[in-house]
Chains A and B, each alone.
Chain A
Amino acid sequence: MSAPSPAGSLRAAYGDALVELGGRDPEVVVLDSDLAGATGTARFGERFPTRFFNVGAMEATMMSIAAGMSLGGRPVFASSFAVFAAGQAYNAVRQSICYQRANVKIVASHGGLLVGADGATHQMVEDLGLMRGLPGMTVIVPADAPSARAATFAVHDRPGPAYVRLSREDLPTVTDGSFAVGRAAELRPGADLTIVAVGALVARALAVAEELAQVGVSTRVLDFASVKPFDEPALLRAARDTGAILVLEEHSVLTGVGALVAATTAENYPVPVRRVGVPDIFGESGEPWALVDRCGMSMERIRDEAWELLRLKGKAP
């Protein structure tokens, strides 16, 4: 294992990638709804003021406007916090963007509980379920800054609607930035157990895998940043090769990646699956990582679930 890398800002990576795209593609425009300083789009606005539209605090209509701007093929990025981009604007995303097959890339910051102090109104843990349920939508959850950068370019190059969820918190660099839509990255090989992780919890997956290695358990870690399209072959290979899957996500377990993994394996290659994520509750104010711990995604809980799976396989005391 390489030494942990310094934490990087996904939002800054997104903002920098936008500026690069703006230079490369004169058609690109960016919309924000009065959160440009927080989402990372302000950098684009400073550099390309005539192609930046801060439409004010109206997320649903921002999505309809973005759709209208994109129907001739122009790539349009639209940003806000996840709770507003996916929640407040849901039916505009559904009708104006997805049903119209609009070329709009929604990049939502402040996904999940890691928003911390702002509390439950700002902690979106249902967005992946909402967005992956929409026909034609691409859904990406980068685990670190290099992936956020790569995902920004990837959704630009891929025609049609996309939703990219970013964390507010800086996250350690865990990938080599070689993100590709539709492909799960194997961050660590393993034969006894697979951990499927997305976003901020990928780092915890790697940490637990390292601990397990100390006691002779070989753990495969898959970064499922591409939630839709979903790398089903990689998941089913993992099910066959390791016989047990633990899913980590900073999202509601009711509709998130764990639900998807459980359904996909149950249909194709049933193996024991455990889901670590947000149970059927709202978050609350608090220090971001303490909140994640308290809501059921602590290192201890992840270890317990890993051992439970190994016991089910008969591989543990």
Chain B
Amino acid sequence: MGEAVPADRIPSLESQALEIRRDVVRMTYWAGSGHPGGSLSVADLLAVLVGDELRIDPARPEAPERDRLVLSKGHAAPALYAALALRGFLPRAELRSFRKLGSRLQGHVDRGTLPGVDASTGGLGQGIGVAVGMALDARLSARPSRVYAVLGDGECQAGTTWEALMAGGHYALENLVVLLDRNGYESDGATEAILGIEPIADKLRAFRYHTLEIDGHDVRQILRALATARETTSGPTAIVARTVTGKGVSFMENDHTWQARAPTRAEAERALAELGTAGEEAGL
């Protein structure tokens, strides 16, 4: 399954994921609002996608043949901005402007304002449809672009998510990869307590996705799954990435109250200390 992963890429991607987590804490603290829980859970997926998998170039952010990334759970914006900054799409200093008036770093990602953002999302349940359209467009235009859509598990309660998934399966879009950030939580609690989505992998298979289940915090597994997806030419791939909401900050892990609330200064300091930076270095 998949190509062997060169071992030297892994530590670098792991440290990028750690850097993204630190930035998520900083950005939500500076903004005084935002969604740390679901941004921390998706950090490893975005580190690998933006830092390794996507054929994108900050010097040519609009290149037609580039790969596309649709962050359908658009509230994880700070994680994507941090990943794009690491890849050179924006100066790191600009991360401070997140959610501020006049900033390119909108509260939910907007394709019109920041190069590197391919789709505007925020209302859940639309990004996967946009991704299906992008994949169809690439196929029609005979462009090599691949399209990656990152979904939330609460977002899987939206009927439109399944409409779009059905279309991706029907059209057998081999250039489409759906990554599900299966962190178990949504705004008001656990998905399985609110409106259960399991057995999610079976559902995706029934919708004609080649479905892989991985540990979404294991960079090696993420790389391998993406490599497998590239080799899958019969239709779309779904990667169910088992993750932990708030991953990396002990007091945010598995606690849905961090879905949409910013840390105080003391909480941010504690979080950054757990993420291996303290004092001056924490950069608050």
Contact = CB atoms under 8 A, between A and B. Distances in A.
Contact of B134 (A50, A55, A71, A101): A71
A51 B141 CA distance: 11
B60 to A, nearest CB: 14
Interface extent on B, as a size class? 20 to 34
Q: From DSSP, what is the main secondary structure of chain A's interface residues?
A: helix
Contacts of B122: 95
A92 B120 CA distance: 11
A95 B130 CA distance: 11
B159 to A, nearest CB: 8
Contact of A69 (B120, B128, B134, B166): B134
A64 B137 contact: no
A236 interface: no
Contact of A53 (B129, B134, B136): B136
B74 to A, nearest CB: 9
A95 B129 contact: no
Contacts of B126: 60-61, 64, 91-92, 95-96
B111 interface: yes
Contacts of A265: none
A60 B131 CA distance: 14
Interface string A54-86: 011010110111111111101000000000000
B119 A71 contact: yes
B178 to A, nearest CB: 14
B275 interface: no
B132 A65 contact: yes
Interface in B85-123: 110-112, 118-123
Interface SS of chain B: helix
Contacts of A50: 140
B130 A101 contact: no
A259 to B, nearest CB: 27
A95 B123 contact: yes
Contacts of A95: 120-123, 126
29 contacts: A51-B140, A53-B136, A60-B129, A61-B167, A63-B129, A64-B128, A64-B129, A64-B160, A64-B164, A65-B164, A65-B167, A67-B133, A68-B130, A68-B131, A68-B132, A68-B134, A71-B118, A71-B130, A72-B137, A72-B141, A91-B126, A95-B122, A95-B123, A96-B120, A96-B126, A96-B130, A99-B110, A99-B112, A100-B111
Interface of A: 29, 50-51, 53, 55-56, 58, 60-61, 63-72, 74, 91-92, 95-96, 99-101
